[in-house]
Amino acid sequence: MPKKPEPTNVLTLTIAPTLVPTAYREVTESRVLKVKLSPKELEENTQELARSVNDIQRIEEEKKSSASRYKAEIEEKQARQGRLSQLIQDGWDERGVKCHWHFECSGKDADGNLIYHPEMKALVRSDTGEVVETKSMSETDFENKELALTDKKTGDNDDGAIDEGE
């Protein structure tokens, strides 16, 4: 068989496919990324930080003041509560009660009558008539008795009331 002649000077061409532009809508998104602060932003943030430090100190002082005020108020209420509890539990309270000394008296009998004793005196509650204390009369008590008797004889009514706060 006869041989085929070999082509000479053949040019081989390869054609690339052409890109056809297509229409897409624009798609955007937002991301958190580092952005350098401007000098103005740095100054504003510095001032806000300083205000914040001062505000926190002021608020903490107010809190302490308020806490101590509330603490004192609570303690006052607790003390009063304790006092009331004690009064209720005991059923009595100590108060100032007007009393009178009865001279030449050693107390009261079962019927409530004063018992005569020439050298004693008895302190008696004005509200209940209960004898609070008995003790020997002092020299001053005897002198006052003599003055009172003299006043009665002369008619001098100086009231002669003597407060014996012994």
Residue at which a domain ends, from 76, 93, 110: 93
Cα pseudo-dihedral 104, 107, 109, 110, rounded to 10: 160
Domain count, the chain: 2
pLDDT 10s digits, 32-57 = 888 899 999 999 999 999 999 999 99
State pTM to two decimals: 0.48
111: three-class secondary structure by DSSP? coil
Identity at 62, one-letter amino acid code? E
Helix, strand and coil percent figures for the chain, each rounded to 5 = 40, 15, 40
The residue segments making up the domain with residue 129 are 99-154
**Residues 130, 107: one domain?**
yes
pLDDT tens for residues 1-43? Answer: 566 666 566 566 566 666 666 677 787 788 888 889 999 999 9
Task: State pLDDT tens for residues 91-138.
Answer: 989 989 999 999 999 999 999 999 999 999 999 999 999 999 999 999
